[in-house]
Amino acid sequence: MTMNKIFSKLRDYNKKNYVQMVFCVTLSVMLITSYGIMMFSPTVMQVLPEGGDSRKQAYMIFAIALIGCFIFTIYAAGLFFKYKSREAGVFLALGTQKSQLRNALFAEISIILSGCTAVGLALGAVVSYFIWQLFCILVVDNAQMKYQADVTGFIIGFVFAAVMSVCIMGMAVGFIKRTNLMDVLNDHRKSEPLRDVSKLYGILGIVFSIMGFVLGYLVPGIAGEMGVLMPSVWNATYLLSFAGIYMVITYAIVHHERGKRPQKYYRNIISYNMMKFQGKQTVRNMCIISLLVAASLYACFYAPGMLSGISEIDNNPVDFSIPSKVSFGEVQKEDIEKLAGDYQIEITGYREGNFAELLGSGVLRDWDDNNKLIENYMEKYEYSKYMSAGDYRKMTGDDIQVDRGTFYRITFPQEQNGFWDKFEDMDLITNPVTKEQMEVRLAGTIAYEALMINGVNSYILNDEDYREITKELPDNRLYHQILFNIQDSEAAFDFSKALYGEILKRAPREMQVQSGYDEYQEQLAIEAGEEYGEDQQMEMSPDNSDLMGYWKFYPNMKVMKEKTFFQTNAVFFMLFIYVAIICLAAVGIIAYTRSVTIGMNNKQLFDDLKKLGGNHKYLKKCITSQLMKIYALPVIIGSILIYIFTLMTYKGNDGVVSSTEIWALGVDFLLVLGVGVYMYVVYRASLRKIEGIIGNKTS
């Protein structure tokens, strides 16, 4: 009988050892392929602007998905070789040549990996299609969400499988190269004990865990405010958190004191030492679980953070805000009233006004080669929108007193001063026609979202100052803005869509610009012979979700924004939810496998305990005391750290934690509980499995 036939017989006898590896390899290839197909499809790439933060975030979570899948696959391969060690040892003891064993093992692994890769790639395409269709049914379905598979996803899946296969084959080479026969025979039950540590070790672990995030996230922001750019190597401070997690978990496993109740210590001494003598591998697994739990929760937390935007939309006191320029010839009052009549909509609080487009000063900030902040003041920096205090009173009904030589800046609710663009940067106004200039200073800010225009700063001037600085302005230097509300009606959304379509249809080419477009900055770029990157023309289509975030003259329609919120954020929800699934799958597989391994490695010990009089209740207590650490501790650590990081992110964005962000944190807590429930289900499954292995099940 050949070695290949013997290996075939062994596969039939030890199916469970092969099933785990086949399942993990196939699952990882399938997940990465399906995610890659969706991630790099033309539909998604069009939604994620090149070089934008959203695309960088998508790449980051894709990297997390790759790491998560790679980790649990390599872990499964390691266990496979651990199980194989006894077979290999027996063959070597019987005189089998290593070359024979190597060839048979390599052939077997090659067949497994190639088969898993082929099945994973095929399933990846199928899964990506069905997930996409399910997402369209449950969340959003429009022309923009058309399923388009791109070959890049298959290439990524294949490359991932190839890299993973090389690593597994490398593990096989190391497995065969071992020369000590007893080491090979006993590899599957080799212990890796941990030495005891002090309380200080655990305290330092907690400090390092938190300090890593604080130093990595907060310090660069503080240094930036002081005009210093931290080098990229500073990101290595996050590694303190990883070291801290390792220290905390190690302390929790190995440190046990007799304390004031020594009877409790001696009653649990067996379970304490069972964990301690297999501690190194367990600690490594628990650290990986903690990081994957944190990654999955980070992905889960994206949805509540985005959903908090619905609350901000609802708090806007104005239902419709339509910006344009006087020269554009956009929709007028009679057009709106006609459409309202067609849909039996009652309009209330209608007002409109013209506001000046003037050149304001500003500060161009950048980092030099020495990571020092450069601030270049420019008397003429960008075009902005200006209105008088009287115009503001007319549009809002709110009285405001603006002294001569001062201005108020209009902001979004809860908007704070930025780093690159500060409220006080503008201190000089220039009339682009008469070239007259006026010095001003910041008096304060006032929040009124309805008067904002995408990418355009808005200011309120003293009435007399406004009259002086806006002389001889032509129509193409006058913004026109319409505000109104409507009575509640079932036809409100249909009316909004019709009005939106009419606005898009009438928009001239000069109006089809991105929010970052500035006519003066374009002029400076042309004069310098440089390319201006913000002059791309927007597609005026109702199905173009990019218009909400990137069109300069996007109309702020409350009803429509609430109804189409999921449409505009559909891709982000899909990507983040998917990576959460990948990480949680990895967590479940690693935790379950490690739990079962502990049961198998300690089967003889449990048999001895039963012979010494240990009853079912005592044996179950020994099992649960170990499983609770494997499942509960990593979830608690990962959840706390990512919760702190999320809170720091909210605080770091604008200096305050808004009411909507507090709401999001509440939802985040519910998601943490959801992950806890998932881990409890896996815990119960592993507990039943271990009890079956050691013969501790009750009838």
Is residue 246 over pLDDT 60? yes
- Using CA atoms, how far apart are residues 688 and 698, in angstroms rounded to an integer? 10
State residue 179's pLDDT score: 47
> Tokens 């979202």, residue?
449
Question: Residue 42 corresponds to which tokens in the numbers above?
Answer: 């033309």
CB-CB contact of 165 with 117 (8 Å): yes
- Using CA atoms, how far apart are residues 92 and 542, in angstroms rounded to an integer? 71
Mean of pLDDT values over 376-405: 94
Residue 312: CA atoms inside 13 Å, Cβ hemisphere, count?
Answer: 22
- SS3 state at 645: helix
Question: Residue 648 corresponds to which tokens in the numbers above?
Answer: 């720091």
Is residue 325 over pLDDT 60? yes
- Spacing of C-alpha 218 from chain mean position: 19
Q: Please report, rounded to a whole number, the percentage of residues in the chain having pLDDT higher than 70.
A: 83
CB-CB contact of 567 with 657 (8 Å): no
Mean of pLDDT values over 297-323: 80
Query: pTM value?
Result: 0.74
Is residue 263 over pLDDT 70? no
Mean of pLDDT values over 450-456: 91
- Spacing of C-alpha 487 from chain mean position: 38
Mean of pLDDT values over 299-328: 81
Question: Residue 699 corresponds to which tokens in the numbers above?
Answer: 């009838």
CA-wise closest residue to 596 among 696, 694, 698: 694
Is residue 185 over pLDDT 60? no
Q: Please provide the size of the chain in residues.
A: 699
Tell me what the pLDDT averaged over the chain comes to.
82
Taking only the tens place, the pLDDT of each residue in 80-133 is 877 777 666 666 666 667 677 777 778 888 988 999 999 999 998 888 888 777
State residue 129's pLDDT score: 84
Segment (H or E) for 355: strand 347-367
Q: Distances in Å between the alpha carbon of 645 and those of 245, 416, 447, 562, 638?
A: 15, 20, 28, 29, 11
CB-CB contact of 30 with 127 (8 Å): yes
- SS3 state at 260: coil
pLDDT level of residue 75 (50, 70, 90 thresholds): confident
Q: Where do runs of H (alpha helix) occur along 655-697?
A: 659-694
More confident residue, 13 or 17: 17
**Which amino acid makes up residue 60?**
M
Pairing mode of beta strands 373-388, 458-461 = parallel
| Burial classification of residue 591, based on how many CB atoms lie within 10 Å of its CB (0-12 exposed, 13-18 middle, 19 or more buried) | buried
Three-state helix/strand/coil letters over 483-552:
EEEECCCCCHHHHHHHHHHHHHHHCCHHHCEECCCCHHHHHHHHHCCCCCCCCCECCCCCCCCHHHHHEC
Q: Give the phi and the psi of residue 329 in degrees, each rounded to 5.
A: 70, 40
Q: Tell me how crowded residue 80 is: count the other CB atoms within 10 A of its CB.
A: 22
DSSP-derived letter for residue 447 is E
- Using CA atoms, how far apart are residues 439 and 360, in angstroms rounded to an integer? 10
Residue ranges covered by each domain of the chain: 1-190, 275-316+560-698, 320-559
State residue 14's pLDDT score: 63
Is residue 289 over pLDDT 90? no
Mean of pLDDT values over 153-181: 84
Q: Tell me how crowded residue 130 is: count the other CB atoms within 10 A of its CB.
A: 12
- Using CA atoms, how far apart are residues 295 and 186, in angstroms rounded to an integer? 36
State residue 290's pLDDT score: 87
**Which amino acid makes up residue 45?**
M
- Using CA atoms, how far apart are residues 219 and 226, in angstroms rounded to an integer? 11
- Spacing of C-alpha 342 from chain mean position: 44
Q: Is the dihedral of CA 156, 162, 166, 169 positive or negative?
A: positive
Is residue 699 over pLDDT 60? no
State residue 181's pLDDT score: 53
Lowest mean pLDDT among 249-253, 274-278, 500-504, 580-584: 274-278
- Using CA atoms, how far apart are residues 229 and 374, in angstroms rounded to an integer? 11
Taking only the tens place, the pLDDT of each residue in 455-512 is 899 999 999 999 999 998 999 899 999 999 998 888 898 999 999 999 999 999 999 9
Lowest mean pLDDT among 221-230, 237-246, 480-489, 624-633: 221-230
Q: Please report, rounded to a whole number, the percentage of residues in the chain having pLDDT higher than 90.
A: 30
Mean of pLDDT values over 640-669: 79
Mean of pLDDT values over 52-77: 74
Mean of pLDDT values over 370-397: 91
Mean of pLDDT values over 643-659: 75
State residue 50's pLDDT score: 65
pLDDT level of residue 72 (50, 70, 90 thresholds): confident
**Cβ-count burial 623-656 (b if 16+ within 10 Å, e if not):** beebbebbbebbbbbbbbbbbbbbebebeeeeee
Lowest mean pLDDT among 169-178, 241-250, 472-481, 531-540: 169-178
Report which listed range, 5-14, 213-222, 323-332, 460-469, is most confident: 460-469
CB-CB contact of 657 with 305 (8 Å): no
State residue 277's pLDDT score: 66
CA-wise closest residue to 175 among 95, 111, 71, 86: 86
Lowest mean pLDDT among 257-266, 373-382, 412-421, 686-695: 257-266
Report which listed range, 332-336, 580-584, 688-692, is most confident: 332-336
pLDDT level of residue 408 (50, 70, 90 thresholds): very high
Rg of the Cα atoms in the chain: 32
More confident residue, 464 or 641: 464
More confident residue, 96 or 293: 293
State residue 285's pLDDT score: 79
Is residue 587 over pLDDT 50? yes
Mean of pLDDT values over 606-633: 81
Q: Distances in Å between the alpha carbon of 429 and those of 8, 310, 464?
A: 83, 36, 14
- Using CA atoms, how far apart are residues 120 and 22, in angstroms rounded to an integer? 10
Q: Tell me how crowded residue 382 is: count the other CB atoms within 10 A of its CB.
A: 20
Pairing mode of beta strands 406-411, 428-430 = unpaired
State residue 141's pLDDT score: 56
CB-CB contact of 201 with 62 (8 Å): no
CB-CB contact of 428 with 360 (8 Å): yes
CB-CB contact of 455 with 519 (8 Å): no
